[in-house]
Structure 1
Amino acid sequence: MAKRKPPARRRYDTDLTDTQWDLIAPLIPEAQAGGRPRKATSRELVNAILYFLRAGMGWRLLPHDLPPWQTVYYYLRRWQREGVWERVHHTLVMADRERCGRSVSPSAAILDSQSVRTADKGGAKGYDAGKKISGRKRHILTDTDGRLLCVRVHGADIQDRDGGKLPLKASRRRYPFVARVFADGGYAGRLVTWAADKTHITLDIIRRGAKAKGFEVLPRRWVVERTFAWIFKNRRLVRDYEQITAVAETLITIAASATLLRRGH
């Protein structure tokens, strides 16, 4: 008797549509020839990662109708080391800017940080005395519409004027035309001089009004806060559960890519 083909699984809300998959498929490596055949397709591996991000469970709790968690995590890390996720995100940023009538490469950006608590795991962590949070700090650079350009994660005890160097420097490879970056008062001081000397970026500090009390919406600053809100839609990112900061950066990048894929597709 011929072996029956297992029924196709039901679709999850986080699954990529055919149109969305077609946008990134050329950038996602297929299984290589030789060795033990891989049962899961590249599309299913990406779908599993997107489900994991949105649902926020542990790796071992991935549903059984998705590829095994060991396989999913292996390819998450392998494609991270090969630069696949960065290439996918960069391609989507350029395509979305073009779709909105903007120049493909941004010339201005916004810098900000967010302190989040960590799980009971090892890895870099620290205490942010200002926010009274023990954990890690996420430094992100976005364009003026809120698209993520670069993210760097480190211990929360590192001050913004020091941690801000990481995304500014890292962004030059893929976004060399960014010449002006807006940031809040926490980045004032020596980072302004460092940015001009080392990255040729003009750091424009946006300060609160002298008479401001409580919360105040600052020009351009609300854009990056909205980006953090988009990231927080993924339950896995509400805290930092990753032992390795590079994995945390990759998951944030994938979450930002998923946001771009959902726009108009």
Structure 2
Amino acid sequence: MVPRRPYPTDLSDAEWELLAPLIPAPKPGGRPTVHERREIVNALAYWVRAGCAWRLLPHDLPPWQTVYHYWRTWRIEGRWEAVQAPAVGGPRPDAIRNEPKTLRIQPVVALRRSETGRARIARSAPRPSGPCPGTWPDRLPRLSVQL
């Protein structure tokens, strides 16, 4: 197999040495592995950085179904947070604590004064000018996420 050209998001050897102990080994007695764990982590790094849909992963990375399966499994097991911690400069894997994180979601709606002095609601996006006002995109508030 011809080695693929590296992406900017691929792990360096030093980064892989840091993350390799956090990645579980293949289960014994199962189907033989087709993709190396490092390639799966490289695909996850690409997905996180690109912010793309699973199906839009490049074809020279493992299939999106495989990458999604491992991401979902590791997220449920709590490994995904442990893998991300060294990447974002968080605590070392041996010092990870189970602290709950709070997420606050606020609609982005502001009150503005019109020329007559009345307060009116100003949306962060203009209303669509279609034949059916009140359709579902118009009714959803724009959300801002603060951690």
* TM norm structure 1: 0.37
SS at match of 1:138: strand
Equivalent of residue 66 in structure 1, options 58, 61, 67:
61
SS at match of 1:93: coil
Instruction: Give the unaligned 5+ runs of structure 1.
Output: 1-5, 96-103, 106-110, 116-126, 141-265
Alignment match, 2:72? 77
Equivalent of residue 49 in structure 1, options 40, 44, 47:
44
SS at match of 2:90: helix
Shift of 1:55: 2.5
The answer on 1:94 being equivalent to 2:91 is yes
Alignment match, 2:127? none
The answer on 1:31 being equivalent to 2:26 is yes
Between the two structures, name the one with larger relative contact order (CA 8 Å, sep ≥ 6).
1
Shift of 1:135: 4.6
| Distance in structure 2 (CA, Å) of the matches to 1:51 and 1:139 | 24
Alignment match, 2:132? none
One-letter code aligned to 1:13: P
SS at match of 2:145: strand
Q: Is the alpha carbon distance of 1:52 and 1:35 closer, same or farther for their aligned partners in structure 2, counting shifts above 3 Å?
A: same
| Distance in structure 1 (CA, Å) of the matches to 2:143 and 2:29 | 41
Alignment match, 1:129? 109
Shift of 1:88: 2.8
Shift of 1:72: 0.5
Bigger Rg, structure 1 or 2: 2
Alignment match, 2:10? 15
Shift of 1:113: 5.4
SS at match of 1:81: helix
Instruction: Say what the alpha-carbon RMSD is for the aligned residues.
Output: 2.8
* TM norm structure 2: 0.62
| Distance in structure 2 (CA, Å) of the matches to 1:25 and 1:44 | 12
| Distance in structure 2 (CA, Å) of the matches to 1:86 and 1:93 | 10
| Distance in structure 1 (CA, Å) of the matches to 2:47 and 2:84 | 18
Alignment match, 2:117? none
Equivalent of residue 145 in structure 2, options 138, 142, 145:
138
Q: Is the alpha carbon distance of 1:17 and 1:84 closer, same or farther for their aligned partners in structure 2, counting shifts above 3 Å?
A: same
Aligned residue runs from structure 1 range 210-229, under 5 A: none
| Distance in structure 1 (CA, Å) of the matches to 2:67 and 2:143 | 25
Q: Is the alpha carbon distance of 1:17 and 1:90 closer, same or farther for their aligned partners in structure 2, counting shifts above 3 Å?
A: closer
Q: Is the 8 A contact 1:30 1:41 kept in 2?
A: no
| Distance in structure 2 (CA, Å) of the matches to 1:135 and 1:34 | 49
| Distance in structure 2 (CA, Å) of the matches to 1:74 and 1:136 | 29
- List per-residue Cα deviations over 1:155-179 (Å, max 9, x = no partner): xxxxxxxxxxxxxxxxxxxxxxxxx
Q: Is the alpha carbon distance of 1:88 and 1:49 closer, same or farther for their aligned partners in structure 2, counting shifts above 3 Å?
A: closer
Instruction: Give the unaligned 5+ runs of structure 2.
Output: 97-101, 111-121, 125-140
Q: 4+ runs of 1 displaced by more than 3 Å? A: 89-92, 111-115, 130-133
Percent identity at matched positions? 45
